[in-house]
Amino acid sequence: MNSLFRLPEASTHAATVDHIFYLLLVLSGATVVLVFGLILLFAVRYRRGSAAKRGPMPEILSREFEIGWTVATLLTFAFLFWWASSADLSSLAAPPGALEIHVVAKQWMWKTQHSNGAREINALHVPLDKPVHLLMSSQDVIHSFFVPAFRVKKDVLPGRDTDLWFQASKTGTFPLLCAEYCGTNHSMMRGKIVVMRQDDYAKWLVQQPEGDDLAHEGARLFVSRGCSGCHAGSSNVHAPRLAGLYGRAVQLADGRTVSADDAYIRDSILQPKRDVVAGFEPIMPSFKGLLDDGEIQSLTAYIRSLREEQQND
Amino acid sequence: MTDALLAGELPLPPRPDYLRHGSTISSWLATTDHKRIAILYAITITFFFFLGGAAITAVRLELFQPNGWLLTSDTYNKLFSFHGIIMVWFFLVPSIPNTLGNFLLPLMIGAPDVAFPRLNLFSWYLTVAAGAFTVYALVAGGVDTGWTFYTPYSSMFSNTHVFAAAAGVFVVGFASIATGVNFIATTHMLRAPGMTWFRLPLFVWAIYATSLIMVLATPVLAISLLLVIAERVLGLPIFDPARGGDPILFQHLFWFYSHPAVYIMVLPAMGVVSEIIPCFARRRIFGYDFMVYAMLAIAGVGFFVWGHHMFVSGQSALASLVFSFLSFIIAVPSAIKVFNWTASLYRGQISFESPMLYALGFVGLFTTGGLSGLFLASIPVDIHVTDTYFVVAHFHYIMVGGSVSAFFAGLHFWWPKVTGKLYPESWAKFAAILMYAGFNMTFLPQFFAGYLGMPRRYHTYPAEFQIYNVMSSAGAAVLAIAYLLPLGYLTWSLFYGGKAAKNPWGATGLEWTTGSPPPPKNFDRQPRVDRGPYDYHAEGMSAGTDPPEMQNARETR
């Protein structure tokens, strides 16, 4: 995968990280040369009994000297902070229109699911030059999604979604590693990222076994798990309608207002008593233990799709 | 007539030093003499050092092969966990404070003992009890959570002896707190007449700053481990997300202790080196007051940088920015200290006995480790290298390259004072150089492996990293020899070493004005202090070869 001293820069982000890395390397190298050089110089020149001049200390070695290098260090570090952080900020949020792919981590494998429902295990095929947005959650302990060639890493948590985005800039196969210690076979929790040209990716995707896409699978679960018994429009039970819910601000019974995002929907499924919508009785049972993370992702995708349908009307 | 008689004192009868003042087992196990307790600690941490070293020897052997050849993954995970737990809490945290600090703090400030001698002994017993819990965890089958005990793995998933190990760390935390309280009280209450705050040797300042961190941070470690035990044993929902808990909460609590704990391990090392460099350069330390402020700044700001361990944990971008900024800021006082040690060599009369070699080794390795810390403070670079061998290399440079080198520097520097014996100098020099070389051979390749993407805590690894692991393991063998050598020649010196004079290095400082080894109550007369530390030459001058002016603690026989 990589030569002995160089890691491929296979994403747009990788070059940015490497620039910062190399600047730090140069600065550190200069500091090492300065400090080690001075120590060696003094060690030789001022070894005990040498003929080098001692006598009264020169005036310049005073308090101002000390303040001078303190301020110089401070300014250098402030610059480094600014430079590194501005690079980081500009790459925080995934660009709109990014390809969404769901990742579920469990001891000790990676399960990925593409937007059309195609599933992979310990592998992920992505198109070249297109932003890819990963929505990730874990079924058990904390894992960490690490692709060295992309210079990206993000912890994958149980009970909470994290996300990560990248744009691959080189075709090829790159290692995917788990970077957060997760138990016995942590070091076997590896996979591969395959970057393909966009048309190859489209062909590959079509050839995958037919799987329902997430929203359709969610729609099936919505009926089979009984959600529709209360939340469907035809129901007699007084429960909130879900169409158009996603992304909206929701007024809660206790006066708070929350935004209906992925985390809110997950919480409402697993802990329905926590955020009760204003005007409704807390009668919904918890689905904790009845749905796994993949199913919650599907349901969330379905609820999100309800918004899209409404906007199309 | 002798000086003492002229001064109007009665000649004292000969009296045994602290080592010969009682030779029964109970005179050791029930002692309240800070010097004897320091010896008890030294024996304890030496035991744990080699225990933790044995565990990592097996790990390094295993890593010769990319797919393992000796151990199962479970055994491998237990070994690196045990190595981390033992080395952090049973060697590094107590190493310099509880041995050299215990021995020297009262001597350096001119006190007969620490403020609470019995508490001091109690804290040693706590350490031993805690060590028993931890060794039990190993003997009973081991613990596999890593030294960080991350939840929910530790609280819900691990099937190993998490309770025993966490209990061990919980108890040793109280030993830490007791020691910290004791040292703070000692520094405040027991300074000799004339020993003002700005006449304190930097080692005392370092121990004082360390004690502040111990007292303020360690309770949070106790809390986080209690919560793990509460969830694991009592089933309380704290970190389990399915029951409304938050696994990330543990990381916040844990790093709120464990980042300051890094400074618990490295501040005392800075103190040791600040004593040794002036002595062997025959120079006043450059910028004494800046050195003091730098240590206090490190102790203070150190409490507000814990989030840089969590840049990839999903914490908010704003939080990451603040922690990144503060992590850069805390590097400033460390840089100042490196510059000041270097400047202290300027116009010195430098000699290179073994303590000085170890101390210069500390400066080199600490500088390298500190610079690699800048990479980890930069968010984009940290995201790439965190949880890889880059981080492993970084913290070993600080905590092993830095702190352990300084521990050996101090051990050699004060060995004549502690034992009254001289060790074979050429062996000591050889070991110091070997340690520096072996350390770099072991950990320098890990920076490369980490940057190229080798995650830490990997039992098996992609084959392209084998070259780096083989280099590392070979270096570790050299390092192991360098650590075993002092065990040999220092033990030898106890029986066959020459007798040490009162002040073999010609150092300033009150501890050198009393006998080697010191008498049970340290000083026969109350010392009076009339000058600052490191008075190797007149102010504004550079180093001379005259013996330094000593503090005003006149000897008595």
Q: What is the pLDDT of residue A211?
A: 63
Burial of A89 (0-12, 13-18, 19+ CB in 10 A): middle
Question: In which band, very low, low, confident or very high, does the pLDDT at B551 lie, cut at 50, 70 and 90?
Answer: low
pLDDT at B384 over 60: yes
Question: In which band, very low, low, confident or very high, does the pLDDT at A225 lie, cut at 50, 70 and 90?
Answer: confident
Q: Which residue has the tokens 């300074």?
A: B191
Residue bearing the bigger pLDDT, B341 or A3: B341
Please name the member of B329, B384, B457 whose beta carbon is closest to the beta carbon of A151.
B384
Q: What is the pLDDT of residue A287?
A: 84
Burial of A313 (0-12, 13-18, 19+ CB in 10 A): exposed
Distance from C-alpha of A111 to C-alpha of A136, rounded to nearest angstrom:
10
Range with the lowest mean pLDDT among A163-177, A246-260, B72-86, B273-287?
A246-260
CB A148 within 8 A of CB A218: no
Distance from C-alpha of B15 to C-alpha of B21, rounded to nearest angstrom:
8
Q: Does B242 touch chain A (CB under 8 A)?
A: yes
CB B190 within 8 A of CB B111: yes
| Rounded average pLDDT over A14-29 | 93
| Rounded average pLDDT over A267-279 | 84
CB A240 within 8 A of CB A277: yes
Hey, are the CB atoms on A54 and B331 less than 8 Å from each other?
Answer: no
Range with the lowest mean pLDDT among A170-184, B3-17, B227-241, B279-293?
B3-17
Instruction: Give contacts of B 348-387 with A, CB under 8 A.
Output: 348-352, 360, 363-364, 367-368, 371-372, 374-375, 377-381, 383-384, 386-387
| Rounded average pLDDT over A195-205 | 93
B-chain CB neighbours of A142 within 8 Å are 150, 152-153, 247
Q: Which helix (H) or strand (E) holds B328?
A: helix B317-345
Q: Which helix (H) or strand (E) holds B339?
A: helix B317-345
Q: What is the pLDDT of residues B397-419, one digit of tens each?
A: 999 999 999 999 999 999 999 99
Q: Which residue has the tokens 């070091």?
A: A187
Q: What is the pLDDT of residues A126-159, one digit of tens each?
A: 999 999 999 999 999 999 999 999 999 999 999 8
Distance from C-alpha of A80 to C-alpha of A73, rounded to nearest angstrom:
11
Q: Which residue has the tokens 């501890």?
A: B511
Residue to mutate among B83, B276, B384, with most A CBs inside 10 A, is: B384
Nearest Cα to B552, choosing from B501, B518, B512, B521?
Answer: B512
Residue B328: phi and psi, rounded to 5, are -65, -40
Burial of B388 (0-12, 13-18, 19+ CB in 10 A): buried
A-chain CB neighbours of B389 within 8 Å are none
B-chain CB neighbours of A16 within 8 Å are 380
Q: What is the pLDDT of residues A30-46, one digit of tens each?
A: 999 999 999 999 999 99
pLDDT at A107 over 70: yes
Q: Cis (ω within 30 of 0) for the bond into A108?
A: yes
CB A287 within 8 A of CB A221: no
Q: How close B542 gets to chain A, by Cα (Å)? A: 6
Distance from C-alpha of A111 to C-alpha of A122, rounded to nearest angstrom:
6
User: Which residue of chain A is at minimal alpha-carbon distance from B280?
Assistant: A48
Percent of chain B with pLDDT over 70: 96
| Rounded average pLDDT over A8-14 | 92
Burial of B289 (0-12, 13-18, 19+ CB in 10 A): exposed
CB atoms within 10 A of CB B187: 24
Nearest Cα to A132, choosing from A157, A95, A88, A173?
Answer: A95
Range with the lowest mean pLDDT among A172-176, A236-240, B370-374?
A236-240
Q: What is the pLDDT of residue B13?
A: 64
| Rounded average pLDDT over B440-469 | 95
Hey, are the CB atoms on B374 and A77 less than 8 Å from each other?
Answer: yes
CB A255 within 8 A of CB A246: no
| Sheet with A172-178: strands ordered across | A123-127, A190-196, A172-178, A143-147, A152-156
- What count of CB pairs under 8 Å joins A to B? 258
Nearest Cα to B108, choosing from B499, B506, B533?
Answer: B533
Range with the lowest mean pLDDT among A287-291, B278-282, B509-513?
A287-291
Instruction: Give contacts of B 268-287 with A, CB under 8 A.
Output: 281-282, 286-287
User: Which residue of chain A is at minimal alpha-carbon distance from B314?
Assistant: A162
Q: What is the pLDDT of residue B253?
A: 96
pLDDT at B556 over 50: no
Residue bearing the bigger pLDDT, A63 or B53: B53
Range with the lowest mean pLDDT among A56-65, A77-86, A190-199, A263-272?
A56-65
Distance from C-alpha of B266 to C-alpha of A159, rounded to nearest angstrom:
37
| Rounded average pLDDT over B501-511 | 91
At position B177, the amino acid (one-letter code) is: I
For strand A190-196 and strand A123-127, is the pairing parallel, antiparallel, or unpaired? parallel
Residue bearing the bigger pLDDT, A299 or B484: B484
Question: In which band, very low, low, confident or very high, does the pLDDT at A212 lie, cut at 50, 70 and 90?
Answer: low
pLDDT at A255 over 60: yes
pLDDT at B486 over 90: yes
Q: Does B457 touch chain A (CB under 8 A)?
A: yes
Nearest Cα to A42, choosing from B345, B401, B523, B125?
Answer: B345
Residue bearing the bigger pLDDT, B119 or A302: B119
Q: Does B95 touch chain A (CB under 8 A)?
A: no
Residue A176, Cα to own-chain centre: how many angstroms?
14
DSSP for chain A, please give it. ---SS-----BHHHHHHHHHHHHHHHHHHHHHHHHHHHHHHHHHHTBTT--S--SBPPTTSSHHHHHHHHHHHHHHHHHHHHHHHHHHHHTSSPPTTPEEEEEEEETTEEEEE-TTS-EEESEEEEETTSEEEEEEEESSS-EEEEEGGGTEEEEE-BTS-EEEEEEB-S-EEEEEEE-S--STTGGG-EEEEEEE-HHHHHHHHHHSPP---HHHHHHHHHHHTTTHHHHSTT-SS-----TT-TTSEEEBTTS-EEE--HHHHHHHHH-TTTSPBTTS-S-PPP-TTTS-HHHHHHHHHHHHHHHHHHHH-
B-chain CB neighbours of A183 within 8 Å are 77, 144, 153, 157-158
Q: What is the pLDDT of residues B57-116, one digit of tens each?
A: 999 999 999 998 999 999 999 999 999 999 999 999 999 999 999 999 999 999 999 999
Q: Does B159 touch chain A (CB under 8 A)?
A: no
Q: What is the pLDDT of residue B440?
A: 96
Q: Reduced to 3 states, what is the DSSP secondary structure of residue B421? A: strand
Q: Reduced to 3 states, what is the DSSP secondary structure of residue B550? A: coil
Q: What is the pLDDT of residue A313?
A: 36
Q: What is the pLDDT of residue A23?
A: 93
Range with the lowest mean pLDDT among A39-48, A229-238, B475-484, B528-537?
A229-238
Residue bearing the bigger pLDDT, A274 or B367: B367
Residue bearing the bigger pLDDT, A267 or A46: A46
Residue bearing the bigger pLDDT, A4 or B257: B257
Residue A293: phi and psi, rounded to 5, are -65, -35
Distance from C-alpha of B394 to C-alpha of B416, rounded to nearest angstrom:
33
| Rounded average pLDDT over B252-280 | 96
Angle A279-A281-A283 from CA coordinates, rounded to 5°: 150
Q: Which residue has the tokens 């030496």?
A: B46
pLDDT mean across residues, chain A:
86
Q: Which helix (H) or strand (E) holds B35?
A: helix B34-62
Nearest Cα to A205, choosing from A112, A133, A297, A131?
Answer: A112
Q: What is the pLDDT of residues B158-196, one digit of tens each?
A: 989 999 999 999 999 999 999 999 999 999 999 999 999
Q: How close A35 gets to chain B, by Cα (Å)? A: 7
Residue B305, Cα to own-chain centre: how many angstroms?
20
At position A41, the amino acid (one-letter code) is: L
Residue to mutate among B379, B436, B466, B546, with most A CBs inside 10 A, is: B379
Token digits for A34? Answer: 């300065």
B-chain CB neighbours of A181 within 8 Å are 77, 146, 148, 150, 153, 456-457
Q: What is the pLDDT of residue B251?
A: 95
Nearest Cα to B410, choosing from B128, B183, B201?
Answer: B201
B-chain CB neighbours of A262 within 8 Å are none
User: Which residue of chain A is at minimal alpha-carbon distance from B384?
Assistant: A151
pLDDT at B1 over 60: no
pLDDT mean across residues, chain B:
92
Hey, are the CB atoms on B457 and A186 less than 8 Å from each other?
Answer: yes
pLDDT at B3 over 60: no
Distance from C-alpha of A32 to C-alpha of B371, rounded to nearest angstrom:
9
pLDDT at B431 over 50: yes
